[in-house]
A and B are shown apart, each in its own frame.
Chain A
Amino acid sequence: MLSKTPSKQSSGERSSMFLKLAALGTLLFLHIPLWLIFIYSFTTDESAYTFPPPGLTLKWIPQAIANPAMQDALFLTLRVAFLATAAALILGTLAASAVYRYDFFGKESISFMLVLPLALPGIVTGIAMRSAISLMKIPFSFWTIVIGHATFCVVVVYNNVLARFRRTAGSQVEASMDLGANSFQTFWHIVLPNIGTALLAGAILAFSLSFDEVIVTTFTAGNQQTLPIWIFSQMLKPRNRPITNVTAMLVVLLTALPILFAQQLTAHSSDSDK
């Protein structure tokens, strides 16, 4: 037993060194491309993707922000994301409450059905909605985009709220009613404060899902261009590379920062529960 220990330890450490390098490699592979987006936003090269950049400049940033096509796409995307998130908040919270509070036939399939639009390839949801919309002869519009987005956003709100319900002691609701509060007072004073951060985190995730979505949107949009679709079209036929570079950087910042915040929200409340 004792004699074997040294050899065991040394081989353990050797594999750990290799492991560290491999893990670091994967991590860099995941992150270097995002850093490049930032570098290219400042390149002076307007017509190619030359690396290293021939020179650096700040001039594209105001130009990109002032670009009307980009602005239109951005505002459309924000409006879609806002409405889709609102719908997802209501539908997701209702579904989570029903699943948490009651037993009913088919309860196990609810989660499965809600996660389907996100789990199946986007193209399935996309073409399915496209065929329904065309079969019903509904005109493609802003609203068809919103309906599509809300559908795949419900599950993130649902999951967040249901997880919070399950961590919150059920006896709190009973205690509140026991002390004289009716269902509505209990919801306002006890349930809402308990699930508040879960709702916020779910809303942020839903918002950024919607903000980024391109595949389903391609099928449910008419001639509307959301920001991701605008970037996609710029990649297909590059007309204005510097503007696209800067927009890409702004999108990374706009989505990454709220997500970090949402992670913090859910992490903190799980700490305080323990």
Chain B
Amino acid sequence: MLNRLSTFLYLRPKLVLALLLLPPLIWFLVVYIGSLFTMLVNSFFYLDGFTGQVVREFTLKTYAKLLIPANVQIFARTTSMAVAVTLMSIVLAFPLAYYMARFASARMKTFLYLAVTLPLWSSYVVRVYSWKLILAQEGIISWFARLVHLDGLLNWYLSLPVVGGPSLSVSATGIFLVFVYIWLPYMIIPIQTALERVPKSLIEASSDLGATPVQTFRTVILPLAFPGVIAGSIFTFSLTLGDFIVPSLFGNSSFYIGKAVLTYQGTSGNIPLAAAFTMGPIIIMSIYLLVARKLGAFDAL
């Protein structure tokens, strides 16, 4: 019986392909691509201010709303935060990635790889939560500042505009630190992968030709690591753009894209505006990805 079925299917490879492919394909087309499409459709509807109902008519009104100064500011604030987080991640990730790729023994490398990926896989909310503990006024940073008699410096820093605030927890610096912490592993791994592909002989060849280590680093290693940096930045940039958990828990009440989306769809039921807002990160990321592909970043993924 099974034998006959097996033979029946063996002689019809196209049927087998259809049986294998259709369930996941239908799921993704209906559940995911379909959802993205309805989001797009929704962004062309608008919310009637009097009735509080979504009006299902094609309009660009909702997109026009994105251009009011307050919303433009949200985009600008979120994008600058994403840029800052990405740059800081590169600075912090590079030494560790470089050490992993070039100097660590095989055992050490396995250990470091686990050490980097473990935070990535352990709970996102809990990792955010740990910074609630760290940045609190009575928390470890303030304690440490007092211990080394730098609390004056900390207070001076917090009194600065833009980066400061009443405490670290409710400052833009707080948001920045948490973002860097959360997304850093996404930067380390691609850079390490890219550096791993730099052949040792290339580095030796460079120093053999009389380059100092600094020159070798600048002219050989950095350009070759660049695709990895771009690949990592795709993650840090995109994830920062879309996050609403961190800005909800840290910083003052200024809006970021994610928080705005959550608020519009949640409290005011304005799904069209939330959908239009979401197109922002999608468009920013599409441009970023196009540029990244031009620069050859996808080879390092």
Contact = CB atoms under 8 A, between A and B. Distances in A.
B129 A132 contact: no
Nearest to B4: A182
Nearest to A15: B213
A117 B32 contact: yes
Contacts of A56: none
B154 interface: no
Contacts of B103: 16, 19
Residue among B42, B125, B128, B143 facing the most chain A CB atoms (10 A cut-off): B125
B130 A36 contact: yes
B20 interface: yes
Nearest to B30: A132
B7 interface: yes
Interface in B262-285: 262, 265, 271, 274-275, 278, 281-282, 285
B13 to A, nearest CB: 7
A232 B245 contact: yes
Contacts of B24: 91-92, 94-95, 98, 114, 154
Nearest to B110: A267
A48 B138 contact: yes
Interface in B106-140: 110, 112, 114-119, 121-134, 136, 138-140
A128 B35 contact: yes
B288 interface: no
Interface residues of A, number: 87
Contact of A128 (B36, B126, B133): B36
A214 B245 contact: yes
B26 to A, nearest CB: 10
Contacts of A50: 138-139
A8 interface: yes
A51 B28 CA distance: 48
A255 B117 CA distance: 12
B8 to A, nearest CB: 10
B98 A135 contact: no
Contact of B139 (A51, A129, A263): A51
B23 interface: yes
B114 A183 contact: no
Contacts of B227: none
Residue among A33, A36, A134, A252 facing the most chain B CB atoms (10 A cut-off): A33
B25 to A, nearest CB: 8
Interface string B1-37: 0110111011001001100110111011001111110
Given A215-B245, A231-B125, A30 B181 contact: yes
| Interface range, B side | 35 or more
B65 to A, nearest CB: 16
B9 A255 contact: no
Interface stretch (B68-76, B194-202, B235-243): B235-243
Given A29-B92, A121-B243, A123-B244, A36 B140 contact: yes
A213 B24 CA distance: 21
A245 to B, nearest CB: 8
A216 B191 CA distance: 28
Given A23-B99, A120-B285, A132-B39, A30 B184 contact: yes
Contacts of A92: 24
A260 B118 contact: yes
Interface string A167-190: 000000000000000111100000
A75 interface: no
Contacts of A252: 122-123, 126
Residue among B133, B238, B243, B257 facing the most chain A CB atoms (10 A cut-off): B133
A37 B278 CA distance: 33
27 contacts: A8-B212, A8-B213, A22-B95, A23-B100, A27-B115, A27-B116, A30-B115, A31-B115, A31-B119, A37-B126, A37-B133, A49-B133, A102-B17, A116-B32, A121-B258, A122-B242, A123-B281, A124-B282, A127-B265, A127-B275, A182-B6, A184-B5, A232-B125, A256-B122, A259-B118, A259-B122, A263-B114
Interface of A: 4, 8, 11-12, 15-16, 19-20, 22-23, 25-27, 29-31, 33-34, 36-37, 40, 48-52, 90-92, 94-95, 97-98, 101-102, 104, 113-114, 116-117, 119-125, 127-132, 134-135, 147, 150-151, 154, 182-185, 205, 208, 211-215, 218-219, 228, 231-232, 235-236, 244, 248, 251-252, 255-256, 259-260, 263, 267
Interface of B: 2-3, 5-7, 9-10, 13, 16-17, 20-21, 23-25, 27-28, 31-36, 38-39, 41-42, 92-93, 95-96, 98-100, 103, 110, 112, 114-119, 121-134, 136, 138-140, 143, 181, 184-185, 188, 207, 210, 212-213, 238-239, 241-245, 248-249, 257-258, 261-262, 265, 271, 274-275, 278, 281-282, 285
Q: Report, nearest first, the 10 A-B pairs whose CB atoms are least far apart.
A: A121-B242, A22-B95, A182-B6, A33-B130, A49-B136, A98-B20, A128-B35, A132-B35, A128-B39, A23-B99
